[in-house]
Amino acid sequence: MPSLTFYGGVNEIGGNKIQLEVGGTKLFLDFGMSFKIVNQYFAEFLQPRKCTALADFFELGLLPDIKGIYRADYLMHMDRPEEERSVDAVLLSHAHADHAQYIHFLRTDIPIYCTKATKIILQVLEETGSNPLSDLVTACDAFTFYTNKKGNLSRVTRRNTEFVHERIYHVMEPEDKVKIGSLEIEMVPVDHSLPGACGYIIHSDEGNLVYTGDIRFHGSNQALSKTFVEKAKAAKPKWLVSEGTRIDNMQQDSEEGVKNVITQLIATAKGLVFVEHPIRDLDRVNTIFEAAKANKREFVVTLKLAYLIEALGASAPFSLSNVKILVPKKSWGLISKDGNNRKLVEQDYATWERAFISRENAITCNELQQNPEHYVASMSLWEINQLTDIQPEAAIWIKSSCEPFSDEMILDEERKRNWLEHFGIKDYFAHASGHASGAELKAIITEINPHRLYPVHTEHSEMFKEFFRNVEMVELGKTYTL
């Protein structure tokens, strides 16, 4: 009998790890990190220990203890015998951490299906991230020694390229249908707050299953989500696994509305404009870019954003040459001192950052200080110490990201407020969610009309019962026969 097992995404927003088994074929729909559990047990200076491999993750329910899915180097470190692969593939809906982060722990021979943009973002996370769990596209053998030139044992690092293995990625194009075992998989792009997001329609002899991933209908790619709903409906699914982040929220968001507000705020600003936004939400980044352009200001991006825009190439909303790149002081701060040769300055930066330093469109905080009225700068709490270099006057700060929802985020927000107060910066808010509203969810579920609905990625699955007849209130770790 076909079955669904929910190892994450239950009574919480994110952490999706859903196993589907049909006719002997086993798939995972996403393999993400649970922010809820991480926040319950951990803090900035209290993290799961790498030295225990998977043990801390199993103990606290961050990962399910199941056979045949985890990487051999970690299992060996836990003295667990070798296992045979038990899963045929992972279908990845998008590259947000709550859907993709824990790919890090998976065997490298499990094929991962996703869109081209998703793979690029994962690659960028691996190359530029500071997260130790970023073996996303390649995996480097952990807890492994090699014999060095002197004949002694040394610990393997990523520099020992023979120990770095490529994961198996299958990049899917819209309209592509691929066979995995007894199943036929259709990737359908959707609108979300990250490039490359998609849902899946899984066709089988026993019935079809639709998985929404994370979806919305008010971003610049809203037409994609509408097509997704049409295709999902046409598939006459027996089962629908739907996200429900905002089922309790009837507010209709609009990215266009965010653009209008930001454009207006920039128009009235006398000094520098800072915008805080989700770093990889290129829909929002484009909104800010357009709002700056409408006010004849230039958009200034961070090094991380510059790297992402360049990596996405034609899939990015604009070319990196159309914006300025802010090169901050790092390490010894030589960028703003005269007379240093390029080689010395470069040593202040990570290898991936060096390529941007001498670009024609690279600027430093000095330029922002001297001509504040020319620019709109991407900024976050993590770079806010540059305000000391900028010494802004009459600047404004637009928060264009979600309100804090954890204790840690509330504290960070307070810290940010202190910085803004210190520099006399006035703050504003303009944001639209990455998720469909309650009314939209209700409309699409009624439209797709599956035999049975499995709400995930929500803290209010009971609310689905108010409008749909056949709702499974899924429980963590439980298997449902389909």
**Sequential DSSP letters for 156-217:** --TT-GGGEEE--EEE--TT-EEEETTEEEEEEE-B-SSTT-EEEEEE-TT--EEE--S-BS
Closer residue to Zn ion in complex, CB, 14/244: 14
CB atoms within 10 A of CB 366: 12
Minimum Å gap between C-beta 476 and Zn ion is 17
Tokens standing for residue 73: 């180097």
Residue 407 DSSP label: H
Residue 272 DSSP label: -
Phi, psi of 396 (to 5 degrees): -125, 160
Minimum Å gap between C-beta 435 and Zn ion is 8
Minimum Å gap between C-beta 16 and Zn ion is 7
The strand pair at 375-378 and 164-166 is best described as unpaired
Phi, psi of 171 (to 5 degrees): -80, 125
List, in sequence order, every residue forming a beta bridge with 471; answer none if it has no partner. 453
Closer residue to Zn ion in complex, CB, 8/14: 14
Helix axes 282-294, 255-268, angle to 10 degrees: 40
CB atoms within 10 A of CB 117: 23
Closer residue to Zn ion in complex, CB, 2/9: 9
CA distance 457 to 450: 18
Minimum Å gap between C-beta 95 and Zn ion is 8
Minimum Å gap between C-beta 296 and Zn ion is 34
Closer residue to Zn ion in complex, CB, 207/438: 438
CA distance 385 to 77: 41
Closer residue to Zn ion in complex, CB, 96/246: 96
Minimum Å gap between C-beta 197 and Zn ion is 7
Residue 31 DSSP label: -
Minimum Å gap between C-beta 93 and Zn ion is 8
Closer residue to Zn ion in complex, CB, 94/416: 94
User: Which residues are within 8 A (CB) of 174 and not within 5 positions of it... i.e. 6 or more apart?
Assistant: 187, 188, 189
Count CA within 13 A, CB hemisphere, residue 360: 4
Closer residue to Zn ion in complex, CB, 73/214: 214
Closer residue to Zn ion in complex, CB, 278/372: 278
Alpha-carbon distances of 464 from 418, 455, 458, rounded to whole Å: 41, 8, 10
Closer residue to Zn ion in complex, CB, 96/167: 96
Minimum Å gap between C-beta 288 and Zn ion is 19
Q: Please give the residue ranges that form the binding site for Zn ion (CB under 5 A).
A: 14, 96, 98, 214
Minimum Å gap between C-beta 291 and Zn ion is 23
